[in-house]
Amino acid sequence: MRFENKIAIITGGADGIGKATSVKFALEGAVSVIWDLNTEKGEALASEINNNGGKALFMKVNTASFVEVEAATKSVVAQFGKIDILINNAGITRDATLKKMTPDQWQQVIDVNLTGVFNCTKCVSDFMVEKSYGRIINTSSVVALFGNFGQTNYVATKAGLIGMTKTLAKELGRKGVTVNAVAPGFIATEMVKKMPAEVLKTMEEKVPLKRLGLPEEIAAAYLFLASDDAAYINGTVLSVDGGITI
């Protein structure tokens, strides 16, 4: 129970890696505050966690909206008195080559993947600084390190998060708040597993471990960086990718 009495906000916490993270934090004693746009999945997950003896709360929040994030943050603090952990996990893709990518596809990804992280970190960090304690973890990607065909928008945001992480680590570290990032590789989320078998096989062959990662393995990295064991880790990017970036 490493996180007993800790309040952890997980954005995009209703599905995929976010769902695994919400469950793992609750199992470790935290209150998992699930921020997501999918009300059906979010409420179902919160009920599942609570029914299994954990603690969870679902809130419908569009992280791309500063107004919504600010209101949700104040609501969490009003209910629990603090926020200890922020997992900036929410993200979207709108893939296309540069030639075919529309300004709208570009902006949608920027709004959620980059501006959304700014919104959440801006609002939540103020309350962490008040308590002189906080753990902020941003979700980057291995594609931020080597690029990816047809993902100019997505890669730009994930690379931007690395720069943001390092800058915020310098600004907030002196105030008791660490900021780190996790860069997942190919992860077997439900969405990915629906890809054609030959595509999945090709992905697996690119990884030295010859398999896709599990959402729970990314969640475990989040838990480590949020734990007291990682108290002296600040401004780092942890690749959890089976060695694909070697």
**pLDDT by position in tens, the chain (length 246):** 899 999 999 999 999 999 999 999 999 999 999 999 999 999 999 999 999 999 999 999 999 999 999 999 999 999 999 999 999 999 999 999 999 999 999 999 999 999 999 999 999 999 999 999 999 999 999 999 989 899 999 999 999 999 999 999 999 999 999 999 999 999 998 867 877 888 889 889 999 999 999 999 999 999 999 999 999 999 999 999 999 988
Angular region, 158: left φ>0, alpha ψ -120 to 50, beta rest: alpha
pLDDT at residue 86, rounded to an integer: 98
Predicted pLDDT at 59: 98
pLDDT, residue 245, reads 87
Res 1: pLDDT: 87
Q: Where are the domains of the chain?
A: 7-186+215-239
Contact 194, 180 (CB under 8 A): no
Per-residue confidence (pLDDT) for residue 195, from 0 to 100 = 75
Which single residue is written with the structure tokens 């943050």? 73
The CATH number assigned to the domain with range 7-186+215-239 reads 3.40.50.720
- Scanning the structure block, which residue is given the tokens 């419908």? 60
Sign of CA dihedral 142, 143, 147, 148: positive
Whole-number pLDDT of residue 198:
87
Nearest Cα to 139, choosing from 70, 71, 93?
93
Beta bridge partners of 32: 8, 56
Reply yes or no on whether 222 is catalytic.
no
Q: Which of 133, 154, 222, 232 is catalytic?
A: 154
Cα separation, 45 vs 24, whole angstroms = 12
